[in-house]
Structure 1
């Protein structure tokens, strides 16, 4: 079975120009997880050099795995990958301040009746403002109808974060996800979302603007960083209090059917708590009560990437799974073409992304199909068998 058979068309719409660069940018370069690459490891290697990575259409173990334990005594701290030494620098962003005091809206999430299995589980990669592409992908998978309303019954849907920036209609994406959350709940399913680093960036640009924050790369601001990373002024102009309230309360991580759902492929989550609840509470408390520098630091940590790539990648995944449970990590954040080293084709054609990317000894699934770089906006049903 080819990738195209598993993830058939239609051809996704092209709703606007792609904004470069496609990785988050620091004052002086891109922000990666590791500091130095291991010997003999780099983009010039084949996919077999990326921890046994492969695309979805290849073999994937069934959902009978048990949660894994960390490898004792491996001395793992932060994995290495092929990056420039300048990657130590912090990204140029400003801290997100406390959310506006809005009454929290709670949607009911009905539980299955006795003996009734929960609905199918779907995950959706980074959208980055590409609303037309999102609608097309959701309709293709039967999650919405032709009018854009929930049509998936008791299905469970998780967005992995990064709704805004680079694309033409980030607020439109947020409005659609909020709408689907209400409609899914009424149908007995649910539609939920994680907080990505661009949610932190967008909220910070709104709250703190050009207020300076201190980083290891020097003075920066959320507004400058947001603009540098594809922020769209029309999104900021349309941001309303109910958007801020909803975005500020998104969880940082979740566990569904043994899948540990994260936005960023980083181990930085471990710095915020030893359980999923503790991490989510810590991030929410920080956004509600802490100042700009603390918020900046949170953005800096969740902008790290590539922790699961390379020889030490599986150990990083094991560390997260040991702390938070599950047997696989599913993440967005790092576009698949960057993970595979297939960013630029010799003929100048857009990168080919046949589907989700399985790597780190089949412990990690990457879901950012690189829609901002002419790739794909990925939707996948879990587990991937």
Structure 2
């Protein structure tokens, strides 16, 4: 269950490899160190200026579904599920006939000229820097030295840069640098806030301060550890990273695509326009109130609002309020939506099969979390999809 201040985190044994509680979870997190260590796959370079750019994951329990505005918003009433560690048991799967994975075929993209170029989106990265570099290079967005190479193209990250994988801070450093390089080339690289950004911010700011969860004592630090928080990320976390994460937007609309991290309607609680939602989220983080930040984190960990009966209706409500013709999100791994979770540690040579984005909810929703933390695929695709 969720651990309170002064309690030892419980190691969950039924989880997939990358979702286990790390061994250091039972030791205090050491204080922050002064500098960050560059990732070996990226060449060293001097710090570059960057502009603030525009936004983690809690499983639903196996208990009976709660009474919520939309049946997909799985949670225990208005409170967070206990444990916070996704498992094959806790994340129910579906295998419906009206869902499809789309193999994205990139269209020719301009790298020079006036105006803005094609639009790309990136699913949950979770610290897998090498996989991210490879996926961006495959799409021609960066060169062999991991520098921006896409001219006036537009690139949106859907959040969840850290936790579970080996180098979350390296991922953030890369995205920050690419933001400056893309802007200089006439394009842009921007990012949305995921629930793991909220979790890392909370763990750093509030540590083991008890928060009002309504389901017993909870702390950000315990939740962060149980969600795959990495000691190396906390050691290297600097003020510049915290400031960058705190300024990320939660929702944007691009070319008729409503981009957000979580597949939930909880965004409606924070405003009736995209601007209102983003302003409200920024204001909450600025006020620095632990309980208020916890409530925001809790709501943005809800998932599965767009699947099953009522899913398309939930998507339409979001688009009626905020605009767009399709919702594009991360957060809920495609392997769980498809029922292709695979075996722990890839035993028997099997694993999740992810060929591309997952289109569902009457074709109105696109899932982009390819399940890289469970040997799936880190997705970088061009929009619109042609299915």
Q: Under a length normalisation based on structure 2, what TM-score does the superposition of the two structures give?
A: 0.75
Match of 2:293 among 292, 295, 305: 295
TM-fit CA distance, 1:217: 2.1
| Mapped partners of 1:27, 1:217: distance in 2 | 15
Relative to structure 1, the CA distance from residue 358 to residue 275 in structure 2 (aligned partners, 3 Å threshold; closer, same or farther) is same
TM-fit CA distance, 1:173: 0.2
Match of 2:272 in 1: 274
SS at match of 1:19: helix
TM-fit CA distance, 1:229: 0.3
Match of 1:191 in 2: 189
Asked if structure 2 preserves the Cα contact closer than 8 Å seen for 1:153 and 1:188, the reply is yes
Which ranges of structure 2 fall in alignment gaps of 5 or more residues? 1-15, 22-55, 66-71, 77-90, 106-111
| Mapped partners of 1:262, 1:249: distance in 2 | 15
CA deviations 1:103-144 (Å, max 9, x no partner) are xxxxxxxxx98xx44200000000000000000000000000
Determine if the alignment matches structure 1 residue 343 to structure 2 residue 383: no
Determine if the alignment matches structure 1 residue 356 to structure 2 residue 357: yes
Relative to structure 1, the CA distance from residue 214 to residue 308 in structure 2 (aligned partners, 3 Å threshold; closer, same or farther) is same
SS at match of 1:242: helix
Match of 1:228 in 2: 226
SS at match of 2:121: strand
SS at match of 2:18: coil
| Mapped partners of 1:310, 1:258: distance in 2 | 24
Asked if structure 2 preserves the Cα contact closer than 8 Å seen for 1:25 and 1:228, the reply is no
Match of 1:55 among 91, 96, 101: 101
Match of 1:33 among 66, 70, 73: 73
Match of 1:14 in 2: none
Equivalence map 1:93-172=2 (5 Å) = 116-172=114-170
Match of 1:260 in 2: 258
Which ranges of structure 1 fall in alignment gaps of 5 or more residues? 1-16, 37-41, 60-111
CA deviations 1:284-337 (Å, max 9, x no partner) are 000001510010000000000000000110000000000000000000000001
What is the total number of aligned residue pairs between the two structures?
307
SS at match of 2:221: helix
Relative to structure 1, the CA distance from residue 26 to residue 305 in structure 2 (aligned partners, 3 Å threshold; closer, same or farther) is closer
CA deviations 1:214-267 (Å, max 9, x no partner) are 113211100000000000011011111111111100000100000000000000
Of residues 212-221 and 122-131 in structure 1, the stretch that sits farther from structure 2 once superposed is 212-221
Relative to structure 1, the CA distance from residue 215 to residue 27 in structure 2 (aligned partners, 3 Å threshold; closer, same or farther) is farther
Asked if structure 2 preserves the Cα contact closer than 8 Å seen for 1:337 and 1:343, the reply is yes
TM-fit CA distance, 1:350: 1.1
Relative to structure 1, the CA distance from residue 117 to residue 301 in structure 2 (aligned partners, 3 Å threshold; closer, same or farther) is same
| Mapped partners of 1:198, 1:302: distance in 2 | 10
Relative to structure 1, the CA distance from residue 122 to residue 226 in structure 2 (aligned partners, 3 Å threshold; closer, same or farther) is same
Match of 1:176 in 2: 174
RMSD of aligned residue pairs (Cα, Å)? 2.6
Relative to structure 1, the CA distance from residue 309 to residue 45 in structure 2 (aligned partners, 3 Å threshold; closer, same or farther) is closer
Match of 1:70 in 2: none
Q: Under a length normalisation based on structure 1, what TM-score does the superposition of the two structures give?
A: 0.75
Asked if structure 2 preserves the Cα contact closer than 8 Å seen for 1:43 and 1:340, the reply is no
| Mapped partners of 1:21, 1:270: distance in 2 | 32
SS at match of 1:250: coil
